[in-house]
Amino acid sequence: MKRFQKIILGSGSPRRKQLLADLGYDFEVRVSDADESAPNHLSAEETVEWVARSKAQALRETLVDDELLITADTEVWKKNRRYGKPANRESAVEMLRSLSGTSHQVISGICLCNRELLHTFHVTTEVAFVELSEEMISHYVDTYQPFDKAGAYGIQEWIGMVGIAELSGSYYNVVGLPTTEVFEAIQNWPELA
């Protein structure tokens, strides 16, 4: 397995930290206050790549030789609507009602860079929910408080166990980091940049 002097994870997400650690990498966490908005004319795939790249650009100046920075943006999209992190309980309930009984995409933009090179890509997973009752939605939102999660849900939590009817693509992408693709990108760095 290819090793670097240092990998930097540009994310404070506990899920991303755990997944990168589970891949066997030692890394340091650096977090920026990068703007996560993107131009409205961008497609879903372009949007997540834009945000991941913005996060990388905000931290790029902090890199020294042999450091590889990894940033990511995971978003929920349905029919060109971007489902961000819910602002409150009402917003979380509305999002889950909208996703109930339908399919949506979870798309992650990933950016790897050092001081000289930058590579961005995206990974898409199709997710279908069963019909969620009002009782299920209320129980999940009140118990798990999913206000830090795009689309108001974490697939690794109760709602994923009882509410996911079908999944096509990377499960770990929905958690927050498409591990297979990230591992491959790290192993092939810098040839892919």
| Cβ pair 121, 110 in contact under 8 A | yes
* Residue 74, strand partner residues: 108
Helical axes 89-99 vs 134-144, angle rounded to 10°: 140
Query: Alpha carbon 144 to chain centroid distance?
Result: 19
Out of 26, 73, 142, 148, the active site residue is: 73
User: If you ran DSSP here, which 8-state letter would residue 132 be given?
Assistant: P
Q: Among this protein's residues, is 73 annotated catalytic?
A: yes
Half-sphere exposure of 115 (CA within 13 A, CB side): 7
Distance in angstroms (rounded) separating the CA atoms of residues 123 and 106 = 8
Provide the annotated active-site residues.
73
